[in-house]
Amino acid sequence: MIKKILGGKAFAAAAGFLFSFGGGFAFSGTTIAGVASFADISLAGALSLPFSIAVFMGAVIRCVLTDSVGKCIVKLGAMSVIVIGKMFSKRLSLPIGSGIITAISVLLSGAAVSGLIGEFPEKLLFYGLYGIISGFTAFSAAELFDGFSKKRVIDISGSGGCLWGVVYIVFSASLCAIDVPAVDVGLVVISAVTALAAYFYRSLGGVVCGALGASGAFLASAHIGTAAAVLPVAGLLTGFIGRGRIFLSAVFFALSCFMFSVLIGEAASPELTLSIVCGGALFVIAAPHYSEKWLAVSGEAPKNSIDVNAVRQNFLSDAIEAVRRDSGRISEALAASADEKSREVIQKNKVCGTCYRRSICRGELSETAGEVIPILPEDCIRKKEAADELERELRLRTARRLMNLRYSDERRLLTEQLKITAELVRSSGEQGKVRHSPSISSRIEETLRNHGIKPVRTTAGYTASNRLTAEIFFETGEIPESSERICGLLSDTLGTRLASAASVSSAKELKMGLYEPPPFDLEVYSAAVCAAGSQLSGDSSSAFSDSLGVRYIVLSDGMGSGKSAAVDSHMVIGLFKRLVCSGMKPESAVRMVNSVMVTKSREESFATLDAVMIDLDNCVMTSVKSGAAPTIIRRGDDVIKLSSPVFPIGIVEEAELCVYEQNLSEGDIIIMFSDGITENAYLYIKELLLRGGSVQDIVREITVKADVFNPNVRSDDVTVIGVKIIKK
């Protein structure tokens, strides 16, 4: 019952009316910078008609009780004009209307009073400035109130932060001017808000709210402003503590204020010191009930904060994985149930179920290798019918088994695709590796449009190693002719040398990536020889970079040699390149490529995949292999062989991968090759690597000597790739 009353519209209206009445009553006798405060006028202008009336009533009652009607006649006249204006036009309750009516009402009221007392020309400029400031404050407050009523959140990000700053300074100054014994109300509120901001939004929130509150305190009084000047520093230090115990944060905040007051030689009076302590106590009371859902704040989230989208996508990924497991168990159970039911039908109905001699028959059913075979007596009168029925049932059973095999293959393929989908959903929910920069994105887009290039959108930012990266998206009909031209234009505009990444297209757009080169680079050399009697090598290779500057070297060996093998290997590399440059993880990309290769045709075709991914910021190499030949690495004085004892791509529905990770350094060499290089050549390759020399010479030497170490009569296509890490 109590919750219904508190949550009802009548209670909300009553609470709003009392709040407005109290605001008008409290602010009507305050001053800002030595003149009468306009907080009550701005409050009346910002609120809707019923609450504006409440503000006006509170101000009138305060003036009557304090016998200051004549002193506040301009303010009372302005508020009466605001109320009358809102009675006749609903547009004046909109934010822009609230600001306009407030400014005009102050100007009209001031001009009328000035004319009555004979000071019309002298005071007009003052009331004009007074009206503009009060009107902008009313607009700011109305904008915040309107956003809260529509979205149920106070948005102080972007321009909302400016509006919040104006309202906070004005009303904190007015609160500081309220005359209350023992404590200063404004300083209590400012201290509590600063402590709350430091606690929930770390040092940035503490500094901003402390500085804005101190500005308002200085507008009210230099004495109060001196006491409040230490709040930004106290908020800064309190923010470093983080979200620990509320009481300890309050104590630390109060002690910081006192310490810095002593250090600057302006120890606050007992009244102001007590106000800061009361502010800390108010923070202790308010902090447990504070909810961030009512406030939208820009900036980076704390390290321990939760990304809601990531949580939801991870849960969706887990749900897809659960569906995959459950569907597999259900399929197996149904298949077993079908086999058992078929066996029962044979035993009970198909063979001897309709014979009248069944009760005295000496025949029996035996089971051999999963087949149910009847053993009939010599005097059986329905031997031929039983044999025919058994033959028909065996044909049906064979057909069912063939269908089950087909369905089993399809289920395995579907299971693999569900697994890929789960990985994609999970990876899309992970925190991005780029710190987005709106200003750089705008500069890039503006530069391109000034040179007649029309991107759909542009995203730019900085990687974890503080390198610039950008992704530019074009419609298929607006693709620029040269990526080198764009790279040069943006390098000149941004003052940073940029390199172009591999471009990748979707169904509707093309993405062009640019990145600031990392501190390390690669020397990449390759050599290839076709098999004897073949005009076209079945091997394919590619080296490219993604938009983060991560380098990929990919090698694929198609089945056999010639055109068919070349098509398969080229297709594997093309699909892998498109997927990883679109943002997919290499492991997921290999699984997706395998799924495509399995279903691309009825003919048997497969290809190996050997992909090396190198992060050139820290020289970390990740090798992903699927049926590929070993990779040999010279790391310092050691030689390492990475093997792949799994099937190539396109053979089985569930892709098998071998993933290795190695930390490399400058001068280390990676040798990749196709199956044309046999195991007999590995020791020779090791000797070449330990002997030293250029990568180009090593690659050429391995290719030339490939046939020498090949014991097979029929040669195979040979492709050798050498990669050396160098420092720029």
Lowest mean pLDDT among 19-23, 380-384, 470-474, 642-646: 380-384
For residue 312, name the pLDDT band (cuts at 50, 70, 90).
Answer: very low
Per-residue pLDDT, averaged over 500-525, amounts to 88
Q: Are the C-beta atoms of 392 and 407 separated by less than 8 Å?
A: no
> Residue 145 belongs to what H/E stretch?
helix 120-151
* Both structure tokens of 68: 């200051």
For residue 333, name the pLDDT band (cuts at 50, 70, 90).
Answer: low
Per-residue pLDDT, averaged over 63-70, amounts to 84
pLDDT of residue 316: 44
Per-residue pLDDT, averaged over 21-25, amounts to 87
> Based on the number of CB atoms within 10 Å of its own CB, is 236 exposed (0-12), middle (13-18) or buried (19 or more)?
buried
Match 């470093």 to its residue by tokens: 240
Q: In this predicted model, which residue has the larger pLDDT, 261 or 410?
A: 261
pLDDT of residue 551: 95
pLDDT of residue 634: 94
Residue 208 has pLDDT above 70, yes or no: yes
The span from the CA of 29 to the CA of 51, in Å, is 19
Sign of CA dihedral 17, 23, 29, 33: negative
The span from the CA of 70 to the CA of 76, in Å, is 9
In sequence order, which residues have a C-beta less than 8 Å from that of residue 659 and are 6 or more positions away? 587, 622, 623, 624, 625
Residue type, 42: S
pLDDT of residue 358: 60
pLDDT of residue 303: 44
Lowest mean pLDDT among 282-286, 340-344, 712-716: 340-344
Three-class SS of residue 526? strand
Q: In this predicted model, which residue has the larger pLDDT, 477 or 510?
A: 510
Q: What is the pLDDT of residues 76-102, one digit of tens each?
A: 888 888 989 888 887 877 888 888 989
Q: What is the pLDDT of residues 424-454, one digit of tens each?
A: 666 655 545 677 788 788 889 999 999 888 8
pLDDT of residue 554: 95
Q: What pTM did the predictor assign?
A: 0.56
In sequence order, which residues have a C-beta less than 8 Å from that of residue 367 and are 6 or more positions away? 373
pLDDT of residue 527: 92
The span from the CA of 216 to the CA of 212, in Å, is 6
pLDDT of residue 1: 42
For residue 352, name the pLDDT band (cuts at 50, 70, 90).
Answer: low
> Would strands 295-296 and 154-155 be described as parallel, antiparallel, or unpaired?
parallel
The span from the CA of 578 to the CA of 583, in Å, is 9
Residue by residue, DSSP assigns 150-161 as: HHSSEE-STHHH
The alpha carbons of the chain give a radius of gyration, in whole angstroms, of: 40
3-state SS of 640-661?
Answer: EEECCCCCCECCCCCCCCEEEE
Q: Averaging pLDDT over each range in 141-145, 343-347, 562-566, which range is the top one? A: 141-145
pLDDT of residue 706: 83
Neighbours of 490 (CB within 10 A): 23
Interhelix angle 39-46/159-176, nearest 10 degrees: 130
Among 533, 573, 563, 559, smallest CA distance to 647 is for: 559
> Residue 727 belongs to what H/E stretch?
strand 718-727
Residue 298 has pLDDT above 70, yes or no: no
pLDDT of residue 307: 47
Q: Are the C-beta atoms of 105 and 79 separated by less than 8 Å?
A: yes
Per-residue pLDDT, averaged over 247-275, amounts to 79
pLDDT of residue 322: 54
In the chain, what's the furthest Cα-to-Cα distance? 138
Q: Are the C-beta atoms of 639 and 632 separated by less than 8 Å?
A: yes
Among 221, 222, 195, 200, smallest CA distance to 210 is for: 195
Per-residue pLDDT, averaged over 329-353, amounts to 51
Q: What is the pLDDT of residues 137-180, one digit of tens each?
A: 999 888 888 877 766 667 777 777 888 888 888 888 888 888 78
3-state SS of 44-111?
Answer: HHHCCHHHHHHHHHHHHHHHHHCCCCCCCHHHHHHHHHHHHHHHHCHHHHCHHHHHHHHHHHHHHHHH
The span from the CA of 621 to the CA of 611, in Å, is 10
pLDDT of residue 521: 94
pLDDT of residue 306: 41
pLDDT of residue 368: 47
Average pLDDT of the residues of the chain: 79
Per-residue pLDDT, averaged over 537-549, amounts to 90
Extended beta strands in 516-666, E state: 520-529, 539-545, 551-557, 609-615, 620-626, 631-635, 638-642, 658-663
Per-residue pLDDT, averaged over 299-322, amounts to 47
pLDDT of residue 701: 92
pLDDT of residue 536: 83
Q: In this predicted model, which residue has the larger pLDDT, 448 or 386?
A: 448
Residue 29 has pLDDT above 90, yes or no: no
Q: What is the pLDDT of residues 100-138, one digit of tens each?
A: 989 999 888 888 887 777 766 767 778 888 889 888 999
Residue 712 has pLDDT above 90, yes or no: no
Interhelix angle 120-151/159-176, nearest 10 degrees: 120
The span from the CA of 125 to the CA of 479, in Å, is 58
> What is the rounded end-to-end Cα distance, in angstroms, of the chain?
74
Match 């009652």 to its residue by tokens: 61
For residue 416, name the pLDDT band (cuts at 50, 70, 90).
Answer: low
* Both structure tokens of 127: 């009331």
Q: Are the C-beta atoms of 410 and 598 separated by less than 8 Å?
A: no
Residue type, 105: S
Query: From the centroid of its chain, how far is CA 641?
Result: 37
Per-residue pLDDT, averaged over 596-625, amounts to 84
For residue 724, name the pLDDT band (cuts at 50, 70, 90).
Answer: very high
For residue 705, name the pLDDT band (cuts at 50, 70, 90).
Answer: confident
Q: Are the C-beta atoms of 500 and 484 separated by less than 8 Å?
A: yes
